[in-house]
Amino acid sequence: MRRRKFLKGAGAAAGAAIVAPTILSSRGARADTIKVGAMHDRTGSHGIYGKEMDDAIKFSIDEINASGGVLGQQLELIAFDTASNMQNYAQYSQRLATQERASVVFGGVSSASRETARPIFDRYKMLYFYNTFYEGGVCDKTVFVGGETPAQMIGPALDYSMKAFNAKKIYTMWADYNYGHICSQWFKKFTEANGGEVVATEFYPLDVTDFSTTITKIQEADPDMVMSGLVGGAHIGFYRQWPAAGMLGKIPLASTVFGPWEKSFLKAEEIEGIVSSFHYFQTMKSAANDDFVSRWHAKFGSDYAELGTLAVCTYNAPWLWKAAVEKAGTFDREPVIEALESGISVDGPGGRVSIDAKTHHNVMSTAIAEVRDGQFDIVKTNADVHPQDTAEVCDLIANPNQATQYIPEI
């Protein structure tokens, strides 16, 4: 009984949006520029990921404006540095929703930041794009995800590395927050489906810097492969201490997170052979990518750090939105969502990305890379990988009134 009562209350709470329409009614009808919001951690613990995302959103909006804007109107970008602080996410989300009345918001780096912002955008009925690779499962009518889910990253990479290294016993280590916990569940599921076994699942707080105990434990367990889902600045210590203990090359190392961000801290000889998988690597060979990188360097300087999938997924999102707005012929949220669900796609630097209507995630190609001489060497590409994990549980067409995140059940 209590529970039902609560649900009723929660339903009413969702109705808190009643106040929103009166405040937001004028949105889209004012002025000659369209406000677009962005929130990324340029500084703080997630600054190593957020900086290229923040630059990417600026770059993307600039290019859209230079190409004539959206529906003939110029975009005004309001970008905040959230400094890896969740309270900032809450405050800036409220500001973008109720003060600036932005037409769309791009942003969020960690899962925690997305889960802080998402309820606010749900409440004020704001269109929101989250462009970081993450643990999967977000199923929310007003939210579109531009980053990879575990099925898109872990699935293909695991398949590849289990074959390449003939690996059956896998030792896994994860950052101790939702990303790590949920990914570890998916990982276990995928490994078992491939006939392998996860021999250990360890979680590390984000501020752990010393990994010697772990490295010893790994040697004791003697797995065929190690999977790292370590995140952030402090955890870089692992990639330094692993070769220092003479482990590099002895046991193959793969990662769900390791990208140019971690790589920029490390020497080529420390990371030889690490396998990772994303939608985009700067080392991809294609005319679109070459062009993108040279445009980027023209804007930010040719000494800009190596770009990663975070920059490209963030760059693509406004183009997807632009395509949908132009298809809908309006900036209003509901027609734009409808248009986004109608199979919008764009050709980005990493290839074509299209929106999957049921999950609001992207269908995209993913690449598997192995570090060779300090470069991500693309060893395999899979076209049109679907966010299968989320698709199994989420259908926003059949059941549009959802604003939730599913977690895997094992």
Distance CA 67, CA 201 (A): 49
Contact assessment for residue 304 and residue 296, using Cβ atoms and an 8 Å cutoff = yes
- Which residue in the set 125, 168, 169, 240 belongs to the binding site for another protein (CB under 8 A)? 240
Site for another protein in 310-349 (CB under 8 A): none
Q: Which is nearer to another protein, 270 or 356 (CB)?
A: 270
Site for another protein in 78-117 (CB under 8 A): 80-83, 85-88, 90-92, 94-95, 98-99, 110-112, 115-116
297 binds another protein (CB under 8 A): no
21 binds another protein (CB under 8 A): no
How is residue 288 written in tokens?
A: 């679109």
The least distance separating another protein from the CB of residue 256, rounded to whole angstroms, comes to 16
Distance CA 244, CA 223 (A): 19
Handedness of CA 300, 346, 342, 308 (dihedral sign): negative
Left if phi > 0, otherwise alpha if psi is -120 to 50, otherwise beta: which for 400? alpha
137 binds another protein (CB under 8 A): no
Q: Which stretch binds another protein (CB under 8 A): 10-18, 281-289, 293-301, 336-344?
A: 10-18
Distance CA 287, CA 145 (A): 26
How is residue 391 written in tokens?
A: 């698709």
Which residue do the tokens 């070769």 mark? 243
209 binds another protein (CB under 8 A): yes
Beta strands in 168-215 (DSSP E): 169-175, 197-204
- Which residue in the set 28, 69, 119, 273 belongs to the binding site for another protein (CB under 8 A)? 119
Residue type, 60: S
- Which residue in the set 208, 311, 317, 353 belongs to the binding site for another protein (CB under 8 A)? 208
Residue type, 189: K
Site for another protein in 25-64 (CB under 8 A): 42-45, 47-48, 51
- H/E run at residue 22: helix 19-24
- Which residue in the set 125, 168, 169, 181 belongs to the binding site for another protein (CB under 8 A)? 181
215 binds another protein (CB under 8 A): yes
- Which residue in the set 164, 199, 221, 266 belongs to the binding site for another protein (CB under 8 A)? 266
The least distance separating another protein from the CB of residue 394, rounded to whole angstroms, comes to 18
The least distance separating another protein from the CB of residue 55, rounded to whole angstroms, comes to 11
Q: Which is nearer to another protein, 309 or 365 (CB)?
A: 309
Q: Which is nearer to another protein, 62 or 291 (CB)?
A: 62
How is residue 135 written in tokens?
A: 């643990």
Among candidate residues 293, 297, 298, 350, the one with its CA nearest the CA of residue 319: 350
Instruction: Give SS3 for 274.
Output: coil
Burial class, 194, CB count within 10 angstroms (exposed 0-12 / middle 13-18 / buried 19+) = middle
Q: Which is nearer to another protein, 217 or 380 (CB)?
A: 217
